[in-house]
């Protein structure tokens, strides 16, 4: 371990310089810094954010065991064959980093260990400061600035936060393994709503075609593969909040991660989406992602300020008054924000 520099900005600058020129150890260190929400991590994002925005961020989600890791590995091979550099962030919300659930990642890491254009990172959710979504967003910024063409964020679609992580991508793949019955796991988890592409995985299994047809019927009429994005039809907004684009019916594709069958058409579809984003990079999805990041920083800053040593007594007195049902929580929040504004004005006036 290098001893921590007393100057986080200087240390972040050194790591960022090294990471963008291909130093994978520096990149790994930066990711640790953003994961632990350290001062170095924040400084690194400040340096790197303006260099990012070129990667196609692809979220991959689906129930545990639906074949995500196997498919991501097959996508990795196909993307590499096409000359794309790829970073994979495997988010495991349930298990600590040493857990067996990340075995698939270790297999991948071994296979691509010698390839400098592949970078694989597992993130366990437990104990992360700033929330998993915030951590994933900042990790993506760092990897994007480091020059990866594609960043795959693989996450288990079991809870709302994982769904949000996947949906924060430019393109979201939702996996559904063929079932014998009419049960569609992705519906139960609320995943279909965030899908840009629905992938029936394990295409070698009986019932894959049937599952695909079931999904197509549920999702609505098939559109030609080269139909423009619904978002493309909108006038380009340059100010104001993002428009909710009319929901485009997701494509349904069948893949067999185990053999690679169907993966080339999937990557073709990803490349078409990438080309559209390159034409107009400030997509409404990206504006939403930026808004989420900014709001979370604002609320975290306000909260940290109110809980700071100088204000802690006043803040906790109000919180206790809420617990005692002497005042309501909205009144407490209003009072805290009002005193904060007053202090800020006093500070400004000197
Ligand atoms: N038959 C078949 N099995 C698969 C395929 N892809 C994955 N599996 C199996 O499904 C299980 C879960 O796969 P995995 O990729 O780890 O799923 P994850 O939990 O969604 O990441 C493993 O036993 C895989 O071997 C496939 O294309 N065909
Ligand atoms: Mg997996």
Atom in ligand 1 nearest the alpha carbon of residue 65 = 19
CA of 74 to the centre of ligand 1 (A): 11
Distances (CA, A) of 342 to 149, 300, 313: 47, 19, 17
Residue 85 in this model has a pLDDT that exceeds 90: yes
CA of 255 to the centre of ligand 1 (A): 11
Which of 144-158, 260-274, 330-344 holds the top average pLDDT? 260-274
For ligand 1, residues with CB inside 6 Å are 62, 64-70, 104, 201-202, 204-205, 256-258
Q: Beginning with the edge strand found earlier in the chain, give each strand of the sheet holding 197-200 in spatial order.
A: 118-124, 86-92, 150-156, 56-62, 171-176, 197-200, 251-254
Q: How confident is the model at residue 100 (pLDDT cuts 50, 70, 90)?
A: very low
At 346 the three-state DSSP class reads helix
Nearest-CA residue for ligand 1 atom 10 is 67
Q: How confident is the model at residue 279 (pLDDT cuts 50, 70, 90)?
A: very high
Residue 68 in this model has a pLDDT that exceeds 70: yes
176/190: higher pLDDT: 176
Secondary structure letter of residue 225 according to DSSP: T
Give the separation between CA 44 and CA 13, rounded to whole angstroms: 7
Helices 24-35 and 132-145, axial angle in degrees (round to 10): 160
pTM: 0.86
Q: What is the mean pLDDT of residues 268-274?
A: 97
Distances (CA, A) of 232 to 217, 237, 240: 25, 11, 17
CA of 260 to the centre of ligand 1 (A): 12
Written as six digits, the tokens of 239 are 């100010």
Nearest-CA residue for ligand 1 atom 19 is 65
Q: What is the mean pLDDT of residues 28-35?
A: 91
Written as six digits, the tokens of 316 are 């906790």
pLDDT (0 to 100) of residue 164: 78
pLDDT (0 to 100) of residue 253: 97
Q: What is the mean pLDDT of residues 168-178?
A: 92
Ligand closest in space to the Cα of 67: 1
Ligand closest in space to the Cα of 70: 1
Q: What is the mean pLDDT of residues 65-71?
A: 92
98/172: higher pLDDT: 172
Pick from 64, 66, 67 the residue to mutate for probing ligand 1's pocket: most ligand atoms within 8 Å of its CB: 67
Give the separation between CA 124 and CA 127, rounded to whole angstroms: 8
Nearest-CA residue for ligand 1 atom 6 is 67
Nearest-CA residue for ligand 1 atom 24 is 67
CA of 101 to the centre of ligand 2 (A): 7
Atom in ligand 1 nearest the alpha carbon of residue 259 = 27
Give the separation between CA 29 and CA 27, rounded to whole angstroms: 5
Judge whether 225 and 251 are in contact, CB under 8 Å. yes
pLDDT (0 to 100) of residue 246: 59
Give the separation between CA 38 and CA 138, rounded to whole angstroms: 12
81/249: higher pLDDT: 81
Give the separation between CA 302 and CA 143, rounded to whole angstroms: 28
Residue 227 in this model has a pLDDT that exceeds 80: no
Q: What CATH code is assigned to 52-225+245-282? A: 3.40.50.300
Pick from 65, 186, 211 the residue to mutate for probing ligand 1's pocket: most ligand atoms within 8 Å of its CB: 65
Ligand closest in space to the Cα of 204: 1
Nearest-CA residue for ligand 1 atom 17 is 67
Instruction: Calculate what percentage of the chain has a pLDDT beyond 70.
Output: 83
pLDDT (0 to 100) of residue 128: 55
Provide the β-strand partners of residue 120: 88
Residue 99 in this model has a pLDDT that exceeds 50: no
Q: What is the mean pLDDT of residues 109-132?
A: 76
Ligand closest in space to the Cα of 68: 1
pLDDT (0 to 100) of residue 97: 47
The domain limits of the chain are 1-51, 52-225+245-282, 307-349
Judge whether 162 and 93 are in contact, CB under 8 Å. yes
């Amino acid at each position: 371990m290098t001893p921590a520099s007393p100057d986080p900005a200087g240390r972040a600058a050194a790591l960022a310089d090294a990471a963008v020129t291909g130093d994978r150890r520096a990149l790994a260190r930066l990711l640790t810094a953003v994961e632990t929400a350290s001062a170095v991590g924040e400084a690194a994002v400040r340096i790197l954010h303006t260099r990012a925005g070129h990667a196609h961020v692809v979220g991959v989600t689906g129930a545990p065991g639906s074949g995500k890791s196997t498919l991501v590995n097959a996508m990795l091979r196909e993307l590499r064959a096409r000359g794309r550099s790829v970073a994979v962030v495997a988010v495991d919300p349930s298990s600590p980093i040493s857990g067996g659930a990340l075995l698939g990642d270790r297999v991948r890491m071994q296979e691509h260990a010698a390839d400098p254009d592949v970078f694989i990172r597992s993130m366990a959710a437990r104990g992360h400061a700033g929330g998993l979504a915030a951590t994933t967003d900042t990790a993506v910024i760092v990897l994007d600035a480091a020059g990866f063409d594609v960043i795959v964020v693989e996450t288990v679609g079991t809870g709302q936060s994982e769904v949000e992580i996947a949906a924060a991508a430019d393109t979201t793949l939702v996996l559904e393994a063929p079932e014998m019955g009419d049960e569609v796991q992705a519906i139960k988890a609320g995943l279909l709503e965030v899908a840009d592409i629905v992938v029936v995985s394990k295409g070698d299994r009986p019932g894959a075609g049937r599952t695909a047809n079931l999904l197509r019927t549920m999702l609505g009429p098939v559109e030609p593969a080269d139909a423009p994005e619904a978002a493309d039809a909108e006038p380009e907004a340059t100010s104001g909040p993002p428009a909710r684009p009319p929901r485009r019916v997701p494509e349904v594709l069948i893949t067999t991660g185990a053999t690679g069958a169907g993966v080339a058409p999937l990557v073709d579809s990803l490349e078409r989406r990438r080309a559209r984003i390159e034409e107009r990079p400030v997509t409404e999805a990206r504006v939403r992602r930026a808004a989420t990041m900014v709001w979370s920083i604002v609320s975290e800053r306000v909260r940290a300020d109110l809980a700071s040593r100088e204000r802690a007594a006043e803040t906790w007195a109000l919180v206790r008054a809420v617990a005692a049902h002497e005042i309501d929580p909205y009144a407490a929040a209003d009072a805290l924000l009002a005193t904060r504004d007053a202090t800020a004005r006093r500070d400004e006036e000197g």
